[in-house]
């Protein structure tokens, strides 16, 4: 079977993908990592201003059902090894099969990463506590990716962005 991934945020690939639309969904800030926890093999964030480790929840892009919505993204083939690496990288998400939902004809299975219940709960908690933020570097990466998908995708997502953007440095653990 040929596996492919639908990227809608930081997984919009470097132009090697095919543009596609996922109907019935919208792009949101939907998951977060708890920056207080240290998880070997994962990441944490430090404030660029002073190098301290803030007690925040760092948010990431997600998709959620929206009958009136649709999002553009890119679909590109991935090897079994790349898919396994993405599964590790996208630990705040569950990999879901969107083959029958996505427009276009693709050879094999098309996967997307949707926020896991745990990742979504972390963001809910961060919002409730007033400690949910977005890393500026990540925001810029998502903005650049969305610009490749069209100005309207970029503008729509920015209009819905309601979290503060902080200047954070990612540190891999």
**HEC states along 67-126?**
EEEEEEEEEEEECHHHHHHHHHHCCCEEEEECCCCCCCCCCCEEEEEEECHHHHHHHHHH
Query: pLDDT band at residue 104, thresholds of 50, 70 and 90?
Result: confident
The dihedrals phi and psi of 69, each to the nearest 5 degrees, come to -100, 170
The dihedrals phi and psi of 28, each to the nearest 5 degrees, come to -145, 165
- First vs last C-alpha separation in the chain: 34
Q: Give the pLDDT mean for 3-28.
A: 88
Query: What CATH number is attached to the domain comprising 127?
Result: 3.10.490.10
Per residue in 148-172, pLDDT tens? 887 777 787 777 788 999 999 999 8
The dihedrals phi and psi of 119, each to the nearest 5 degrees, come to -65, -40
d(CA 128, CA 106): 41
Nearest to 7 by CA among 106, 154, 110: 110
pLDDT at 1: 61
For residue 70, the enclosing domain spans: 3-172
The per-residue pLDDT of the chain, averaged, comes to 91
d(CA 86, CA 65): 22
Per residue in 112-126, pLDDT tens? 999 999 999 999 999
d(CA 83, CA 91): 12
Q: How distant, in Å, are the alpha carbons of 29, 39, 47, 125, 130 from that of 52? A: 24, 17, 5, 22, 19
pLDDT at 13: 67
Q: How many domains does the chain have?
A: 1
Note whether 94 and 39 are within 8 A (CB).
no
Number of Cβ atoms within 10 Å of the Cβ of 119: 25
Percent of the chain with pLDDT over 70: 98
Helix and strand totals (H; E) in the chain: 4, 9
């Amino acid at each position: 079977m040929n596996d492919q991934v639908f990227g809608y945020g930081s997984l919009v690939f470097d132009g090697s993908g095919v543009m596609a639309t996922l109907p019935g969904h919208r792009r949101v800030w939907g998951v977060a990592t708890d920056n207080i926890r240290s998880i070997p093999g994962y990441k944490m964030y430090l404030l660029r201003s002073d190098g301290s480790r803030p007690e925040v929840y760092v948010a990431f892009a997600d998709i959620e059902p929206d009958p009136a919505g649709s999002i553009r993204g890119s679909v590109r083939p991935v090897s079994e090894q790349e898919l396994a690496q993405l599964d590790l990288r996208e630990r705040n998400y569950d990999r879901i099969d969107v083959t029958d939902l996505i427009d276009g004809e693709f050879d094999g299975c098309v996967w997307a990463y949707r926020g896991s219940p745990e990742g979504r709960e972390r963001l809910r908690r961060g919002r409730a506590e007033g400690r949910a933020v977005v890393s500026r570097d990540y925001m810029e990466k998502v903005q650049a990716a969305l610009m490749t998908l069209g100005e309207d995708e970029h503008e729509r997502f920015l209009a819905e962005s309601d979290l503060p953007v902080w200047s954070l440095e990612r540190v891999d653990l």
